[in-house]
Structure 1
Amino acid sequence: MLKPIKSLVFLFLLFGLQFLAAQDSLKLEQKEIHVKWMNKLIDIDGSLDEDVWNLAEAAGDFWQYFPTDSLKSSDRTEIRMLYDNKYLYIAIKVFAKGEDFIVPSLKRDFDARGNDNINLLFDTYKDGANAFFFGSNSQGVQREALISGGGANYRDFINTWDVKWENASKIYGDYYIAEMKIPLASFKFKDQETVWRFNSYRFDTQSNEISSWSRIPQNQTLTNLAFMGDMIFERPLDKVKTQFALIPYVSGNVTKDFDIDQTTTDFSIGGDAKIPFGNSLNLDLTINPDFSQVEVDELVINLTRFEVFLPEKRQFFIDNADLFSDFGNARAANPFFSRRIGIAEDLEGDNIENSIIAGARLSGKINENLRIGVLNIQTAEDAANEIPTNNNTVVAVQQKVFSRSTVGFIFVNRQVTKMSDFVEDAEEFNRVLGLDFNLRTEDNKWIGRAYLHKSFAPETGDKDFSSGGYLEYNTREWKFNLGSTYVGEDFQADLGFVRRNDIITVDPVATRVFYPVGSKVNTHTIEVRANSTWSPDLDFKYTDGMVDLEYQIQLRNQSSIEMALNHRYTYLLEDFDPTGSDEGEPLPAFSEYNYSKFDFTYESDRRKDFSFTARTDLGQFFNGYRYSLTSDFRLRLQPYFTASFRSSYNYIDLPDPYSTASIWFVGPKFEFTFTKNLFWSTFIQYNSQDEDFSVNSRLQWRFKPLSDLYVVYNDNYKTTPFAPGTRALILKFTYWINI
């Protein structure tokens, strides 16, 4: 039997002495930019012809982040800021080797990788935990986001957040100017504040550099809020009058169900409202929300025994999302996962939409150190699918402690509000109480978490707890992480994400990074990670084990290579067919397997018009073998067209009488950005595992800021035999009204 912990003891002891002696050679300076108050009219046109810009202090002197973090940037970047009672004005002069700026798309919220852009981060409460993000490129295309969790992981970057602001860019030979006008009401901040924390970073494709104003070590993320300077206002910021916003919509659709040969039409009306309370709190209301325009999820080939985690994309749930969702273990036992609301299972176990009647959410800062969030949503009854009407409530409180750490409390409640005949007594309610501590040191060398959660249900046992935590130490050369999770057999989180019950896990990780000098290689990384899982209810039976040895090479041309050897041990507690076939012979419960494989991944330089990522896996799989090839080809005809072609092929060969299968996923996607306000995207997907072929085509016209007209076409087919399933044409109109 595999013993991952024992196999790592020698490596951790070997690393230990160097770990204790490891010291960062990078010395960080504290930077400042002074922001001058003014009352002049500024035209946002990408031309700094107003005299007042000459009075603004310039912040520059950027440091490289890539390819090295020890040199100044080779191309200058100058940032100037001004403000009045309503707006923050920003002028950025971005120098380059020439004017061959890469702009893959005119669509808002573009991906920063592989193109030229400049980005700004504002930590308005100086808590090192949350920030507002704004960015632009040489064509004036906007991007904005919310940053949570200290920005230590890129998953803390939420770019589905939208807000009204102005931006214009203009190219002047070997530099471009990005000029911005951001309403102060878009930020949350304390009245009479004089200092924010601030940083900026840019991607420079011509010099092949990534740089930042406040110096950031390469072992940290670009969005990490531990590495910022001060933004000092000439006068205290007054309380800003924030506007009440109404966002009504009307939507109509025609749907054909080929299974029953029936065509239906539907017309709906609803909307959202945003009601501010001072500079720090916001009340969001929604009535009969419609999410038909939201980008569809990518179909996933799932060869595991567990549910797949998919991200939230619906706008209503985005603002301050971390306040509700950043509890517990995100991938193992999260007490609140917003995608549980508005989605339910039909009688055949398939996910379907469960209509939301109305919802409200109050979230934001009470003071400099205290955040609160209260969410309440009522979902509708679907008697045909035996789905009851539920009231869903979440209360979250987060208190800052020490320099950047937080203590959080969460209460989650799902309550059936009408006990129909098909509702069993055990399903009447589910509640979770939780307490979390998140550690973030000032320099971000130490981060961690500890949590304890308890669930409540009408019929449950006493093993209704979940607890765990992790501790990570991170320097430029070394990273060590040790985590553990417990999920009791009776722990239940109906509005959360619980991958499996009755487990205790231990997860050690050790990473060493090398920085060669004078080489085409930028970094070498060796990582050893393990996972061990026991079942407490089975006398601590050892059920799962994993040991991975990974070697990563980051080249200076921004391409990368990754190789990995990994070994798995699995003790099945239930029958399981790894191919996911409905007709296959499953592997029997209470059988055990040891199997190993080799992975190889290559990602090419994303700055090129054509780039790709390819991955292959080869080796054992349970009691047989598996070969897989995954690829993602990307084409850019800037700035009007981008295309990607994602595909994966898995061949699984298990001995008789078990299954042998070839599983395909093919997903081409095409995006046309005719202007900054007119976009057309088409996403085609085929998944042989689910016998599903679908087309989603969406035309979006942003006729005014945050006001849109959508035309959406959905087509779904069954593939065995190939026949149409459902087809829908949707027209949706949304309008943002400030009052």
Structure 2
Amino acid sequence: MLHVIAVSFLIGILLILNTNLAHAGKANVSDDDLNDQKLLQAEKISGKIRIDGILNENFWKQAKFSSEFQQQEPGDGDPPSEKTEIAALYNDDYLYFAVKCFDSEPEKIIRTELRRDAFMDKNDYFEILLDTYHDKRSGFYFLFNPYGNKRDAKLDDEGRNYNPEWDGIWECKAKIIDQGWFAEIAIPWKTLRFVEGEEIYFGANFGRMIRRKNEKLDWNHIPRNVGTWSIFKLTYAGHLGPFHNLKQGGNLEFQPFVVGGLQNDLQTDFDFLRNLDMGLDAKMNITSNLVADLTFNTDFAQVEADQERVNLTRFSLYFPEKRDFFLEGAEIFNTSGGSFRGHRGMGGTPQIFYSRRIGISNGQQIPLWGGAKVTGKIGKYTIGVLDMQTREKKYTFYDEQTTVPSTNFGVFRLKRDLFTRSSVGILFTSKIEENNSRSNQAFAIDSRMGFSPTMSLTTLVASSNTSDESDKKNKMANASFNWRTDIYGAGLSFLDIQENFNPEMGFVRRKDVRKTSANIFYSPRSERFKAVRKFSYSISGSYLTDQQNYLLERSVSASYRIFFENSARLMMRLAREYEYLPYDWEVRENIEVKEGIYQGYSFWAAFRSNEARPLNLALTSAVSHYYGGTRYSMSSGINWTGFSRFTLNSDLNFNQVELPDASFHTFTVSNRLIYAFSTEAYIKAYIQYNSDRLRFDDRVKWNVNILFRYIFRPGSDFYIVYNQEQLVGNNNDELTNRTLMAKVVYFWRK
């Protein structure tokens, strides 16, 4: 059990380790390394730069701009169609960048997103990747568009562990002018993590997307053959520096918050309850590369509701984490090991730590007393410690009174870098219910061997122990080999999960199984068709048995894809599938599928249109066998940016299930409407409709989530949130939740 006392003890050990290993983590770069890759020289200045995107300061006139960008797409290493320049300066407080994205047709520059952290892959954009430890593994990622809108992330293992929910404090302003679009960026040293030294260098790379041409540029060229998300391949990064006598600074950060509003739901007997509460999030830099996060009376009022999804399988759906405290540093707690995405019910590698197990039960928010987290890197060691305490909560679930006891959750993670791109690590989780001393622990060892930028082997072995359950047959193992280039790729994966493996702080889709998966693909570039960039052909197969090697599922599929020059895609897949259903299963109320063997074909086709257009579509259609019957599926995704500052995202999903003795259909719609007043303020309405009547007593479900956010200074936010959930129909309308809340968060750093 990792109580606060234990966390404090571990922090003390880490401080001792930091003293002993500080020299090992020093970011020295040899002359040979500097000569092997490009160097962007960063000059030190005595003054401060005003961030406005105009680049009229004398400092920039004296800076050394680099214009050595090359194409990665469509031509590997070809000269760019438009010129790009970048320069770097720094002082004791900030790292500055100036970016010049020249464009011969500035009126065609695409910029649609003004909302902080929005996906900007449909925009022109520029990206900065900083390997601050110069370990060629981990880094900070910054992306912005011609509006100056920002998105950022932290990554580890060259992007295999990627956390886009990290929100750093930094400034960016951009302007469109006659020559193209220019930008200024200021990143406080307090935002980054690095090893202090008299003279250090960062690893760095930069990229640009010219959206209307679907042209991708990079600064220190990364061969297209290394595969997707290649900018994260830090072994190909150049150098940024030298930086002299850098100091981290900013040892303390505080984010107090006040939240208040009205609540009307089942938990208040449908009487309006006035709520007023406050809490505190704090951050302390133990060293320049080790940080402690503290939270008290944690609140997540501004978190968006989960998307409505229809489950037509026998197994649980996976929902992503959206809460800030758990998202920051999440990449550290991820374990290696992976398998190919399986078909219906086959699942993937278990997640030993799944943070949604803390503070959420059956979709209900469980109040948190608070907790502590320590994350960082010491030499070749990456370290993460988490301890959280929840309060007791009683609620009604399916007309039954449920009590969740006050519970302590603890996690410890330690990973060591090996060679150039390999690592080995351990993960330990502990859950203890305080009223009955019931406990559950899990222990895992994972490794990743990177043989080259395109070839790797990952392994994961784990066991669990529960105080009131058997400690036999409680283990799992996974091994996955992957080789992936731009043209060729193959993979082989094996997964074994015993019947009593039960990490209660993790996510396990299915137990008592053994699964083998294989995949091979070929993606040649098109030379004959000018509108086509490349084709892709793939074959994959999966074989799933129980622990007695009795066949449960089998699948063989062939896929064909066309990638067009304008970013549109056409995809098709044909599969032959086999499934043994070991028991009678009620798909929906009074609709039962009998035990037995079911097999047949499935066909899937999808099209995604040109992402540079104001209106772009993603259409999917499928026909598949379904337990002796047929399932017809259709879905569409619509993204419209026809009006300035306004964005509409709409997802529609329809299923028609025809069984020998019954039939039913489901229909879900999710609409997200966003209006951005500026890069600091926006309003978002998320409206969802679910017509899965057999789940809701012949009723439909409506969810409404409206959020207004104003960033009145970096790190400080004002929110207004309205939530409503309602079941409608069958002469039995029911309001299950209605909440109106306001929240103020203030950021202070010393």
Query: Structures share a fold, TM > 0.5?
Result: yes
Task: Confirm or deny: 8 A CA contact 1:65 1:216 kept in the other structure.
Answer: yes
> 1:308 & 1:206 partners in 2: Cα distance?
37
| Matched AA of 1:182 | I
1:65-84 matches, within 5 Å, as: 65-84=72-91
Partner SS for 2:272: strand
Tell me by how many angstroms 1:493 deviates: 0.5
One of 543, 566, 578 as aligned partner of 1:569: 578
- Tell me which stretches of 4 or more aligned residues in structure 1 moved more than 6 Å: none
Q: Over aligned residue pairs, what C-alpha RMSD do you find?
A: 1.9
| Matched AA of 1:92 | V
Task: Confirm or deny: 8 A CA contact 2:129 2:232 kept in the other structure.
Answer: no
Partner SS for 2:114: coil
Partner SS for 2:109: coil
Q: Which runs of 5+ in 1 are unaligned?
A: 1-27, 346-350, 420-424
Tell me by how many angstroms 1:374 deviates: 0.5
> What is residue 146 of structure 2 aligned with on the other side?
138
Task: Confirm or deny: 8 A CA contact 1:527 1:550 kept in the other structure.
Answer: yes
Partner SS for 1:296: coil
Tell me by how many angstroms 1:575 deviates: 2.8
Task: Confirm or deny: 8 A CA contact 2:45 2:89 kept in the other structure.
Answer: yes
Task: Confirm or deny: 8 A CA contact 1:37 1:233 kept in the other structure.
Answer: no
| Residue 40 in structure 1 maps to residue 43 in structure 2 | no
Partner SS for 1:322: helix
Tell me by how many angstroms 1:224 deviates: 2.4
> What is residue 440 of structure 2 aligned with on the other side?
430
> 1:55 & 1:440 partners in 2: Cα distance?
42
1:270–1:165 distance in 2 versus 1, CA, 3 Å = same
Tell me by how many angstroms 1:199 deviates: 1.0
One of 146, 154, 175 as aligned partner of 1:170: 175
> What is residue 210 of structure 2 aligned with on the other side?
204
> 2:334 & 2:589 partners in 1: Cα distance?
34
Tell me by how many angstroms 1:164 deviates: 1.5
Tell me by how many angstroms 1:638 deviates: 4.9
> What is residue 660 of structure 2 aligned with on the other side?
655
> What is residue 398 of structure 2 aligned with on the other side?
none
> 1:433 & 1:35 partners in 2: Cα distance?
45
Partner SS for 1:497: coil
One of 721, 724, 727 as aligned partner of 1:712: 721
1:498–1:328 distance in 2 versus 1, CA, 3 Å = farther
Partner SS for 1:194: strand
Tell me by how many angstroms 1:328 deviates: 4.9
| Matched AA of 2:86 | I
1:268-417 matches, within 5 Å, as: 268-329=277-338, 331-345=348-362, 351-367=363-379, 369-383=380-394, 385-417=402-434
Task: Confirm or deny: 8 A CA contact 2:651 2:669 kept in the other structure.
Answer: yes
Partner SS for 1:58: coil
> What is residue 628 of structure 1 aligned with on the other side?
633
Task: Confirm or deny: 8 A CA contact 2:519 2:541 kept in the other structure.
Answer: yes
Partner SS for 1:339: helix
Residues matched between the structures, number: 687
Task: Confirm or deny: 8 A CA contact 1:295 1:313 kept in the other structure.
Answer: yes
> 2:702 & 2:208 partners in 1: Cα distance?
40
Report Cα offsets for 1:470-516 as digits up to 9, x if no partner. Answer: 01112232101001111111111000011111111101110111101
One of 645, 665, 668 as aligned partner of 1:665: 668
Report Cα offsets for 1:265-305 as digits up to 9, x if no partner. Answer: 22211120011122101100011111110122211121122
Task: Confirm or deny: 8 A CA contact 1:201 1:222 kept in the other structure.
Answer: no
| Matched AA of 2:404 | I
1:211–1:619 distance in 2 versus 1, CA, 3 Å = same
| Residue 60 in structure 1 maps to residue 67 in structure 2 | yes
One of 682, 685, 688 as aligned partner of 1:682: 685
Tell me by how many angstroms 1:227 deviates: 5.0
> What is residue 500 of structure 2 aligned with on the other side?
490
Tell me by how many angstroms 1:53 deviates: 2.0
> 1:118 & 1:173 partners in 2: Cα distance?
18
Report Cα offsets for 1:615-667 as digits up to 9, x if no partner. Answer: 000132221011111001111035410002210111000001xx311110111
Partner SS for 1:54: helix
| Residue 513 in structure 1 maps to residue 523 in structure 2 | yes
| Matched AA of 1:686 | Y
> What is residue 30 of structure 2 aligned with on the other side?
none
> 2:276 & 2:47 partners in 1: Cα distance?
48
> 2:450 & 2:305 partners in 1: Cα distance?
35
> 1:278 & 1:714 partners in 2: Cα distance?
41
One of 619, 637, 642 as aligned partner of 2:647: 642
> 1:344 & 1:235 partners in 2: Cα distance?
48
Tell me by how many angstroms 1:55 deviates: 3.2
| Matched AA of 1:197 | G
Task: Confirm or deny: 8 A CA contact 2:251 2:286 kept in the other structure.
Answer: no
> 1:487 & 1:125 partners in 2: Cα distance?
37
1:237–1:547 distance in 2 versus 1, CA, 3 Å = farther
Tell me by how many angstroms 1:85 deviates: 1.9
Task: Confirm or deny: 8 A CA contact 1:123 1:225 kept in the other structure.
Answer: no
| Residue 614 in structure 1 maps to residue 622 in structure 2 | no
> 1:223 & 1:592 partners in 2: Cα distance?
46
| Residue 504 in structure 1 maps to residue 514 in structure 2 | yes
One of 711, 730, 735 as aligned partner of 2:741: 730
| Matched AA of 1:465 | K
Tell me by how many angstroms 1:112 deviates: 2.4
Report Cα offsets for 1:655-702 as digits up to 9, x if no partner. Answer: 01xx31111011111000012222100011011224421111111121
> 2:425 & 2:394 partners in 1: Cα distance?
37
1:526-545 matches, within 5 Å, as: 526-536=537-547, 539-545=548-554
1:719–1:531 distance in 2 versus 1, CA, 3 Å = farther
> 2:749 & 2:234 partners in 1: Cα distance?
35
Partner SS for 1:185: helix
> 2:633 & 2:450 partners in 1: Cα distance?
39
Normalising by structure 2, report the TM-score: 0.89
Task: Confirm or deny: 8 A CA contact 2:337 2:447 kept in the other structure.
Answer: no
1:437–1:237 distance in 2 versus 1, CA, 3 Å = farther
| Residue 89 in structure 1 maps to residue 96 in structure 2 | yes
| Residue 256 in structure 1 maps to residue 264 in structure 2 | yes
Task: Confirm or deny: 8 A CA contact 2:113 2:147 kept in the other structure.
Answer: no
Task: Confirm or deny: 8 A CA contact 2:615 2:642 kept in the other structure.
Answer: no
Report Cα offsets for 1:557-577 as digits up to 9, x if no partner. Answer: 110000000122111123324
Normalising by structure 1, report the TM-score: 0.90
Tell me by how many angstroms 1:707 deviates: 1.2
1:620–1:430 distance in 2 versus 1, CA, 3 Å = same
One of 541, 549, 566 as aligned partner of 2:558: 549
